[in-house]
Amino acid sequence: METVLKATDLCKTFSNESVQQHVLKNLNLEIRKGDFTVIMGDSGAGKSTLLYSLSGMDRPSLGSITYGNEEISDYSNDKLAVFRRRHCGFVFQQNYLNDTMSVMDNIIVSGLLKSKNRKDIAERAKKLL
Ligand SMILES: Nc1ncnc2c1ncn2[C@@H]1O[C@H](COP(=O)(O)OP(=O)(O)O)[C@@H](O)[C@H]1O
Ligand SMILES: [Mg+2]
């Protein structure tokens, strides 16, 4: 099967004051179409850090990430935002709902980023709920 997502020599380092923490160290990963991949590790091992990089929510310190034939680690912030909207679904550990809006509107608002047809979006949201 074709490779969908590939990380090559991925590194992520956090620097706090004088301390550097190397969370991802030359990580290589290949995910093919149709794969169901599970990432396991102790709390603090770097699972979320890896997922934030792979999904374009954060940038690696070093290394490359390709989605299909595109090198997403080179993308501008705007291009990364479009990449996330088109290609990434993400269920966060904490929920990031807007608590001033109804559940329905929380779902509709993400649909509005993609399309202006509020009626179609509302129908789709109802189905998903
Ligand atoms: N934004 C950040 N700034 C500094 N350190 C961070 C940041 N995010 C994560 N870390 C550190 O990186 C390590 C890996 O964290 P994380 O990826 O959240 O682990 P996991 O999801 O596997 O529990 C932890 O030691 C955490 O404290
Ligand atoms: Mg985590």
Rounded to an integer, what distance in angstroms lies between the CA atom of residue 108 and that of residue 124? 9
Structural domains in the chain (count): 2
pLDDT at 17 over 90: no
Question: What per-residue confidence (pLDDT) applies to 101?
Answer: 95
| Nearest protein CA to atom 24 of ligand 1, as residue | 44
State the pLDDT confidence band at 91, using cuts at 50, 70 and 90: confident
* Candidate from 16, 19, 25, 49 with most ligand 1 atoms within 8 A of CB, to mutate: 49
Q: How far is the CA of 22 from the centre of ligand 1 (A)?
A: 10
The answer to whether residue 107 is domain-embedded is yes
Given pLDDT bands bounded at 50, 70 and 90, which one contains residue 110? confident
SS (H, E, C) 28-59: EEEEECCCCCCCCCCCCCCHHHHHHHHCCCCC
Asked if residues 56 and 85 have their Cβ atoms less than 8 Å apart, the reply is no
**pLDDT at residue 94 in the model:** 85
- The answer as to whether 16 is a domain residue is yes
pLDDT digits (tens, 9 = 90+) for 28-79: 999 999 999 999 999 999 999 999 999 999 999 999 999 999 999 889 999 9
Do 41 and 18 belong to one domain? Answer: yes
Is 41 near ligand 1, meaning CB less than 6 Å away? yes
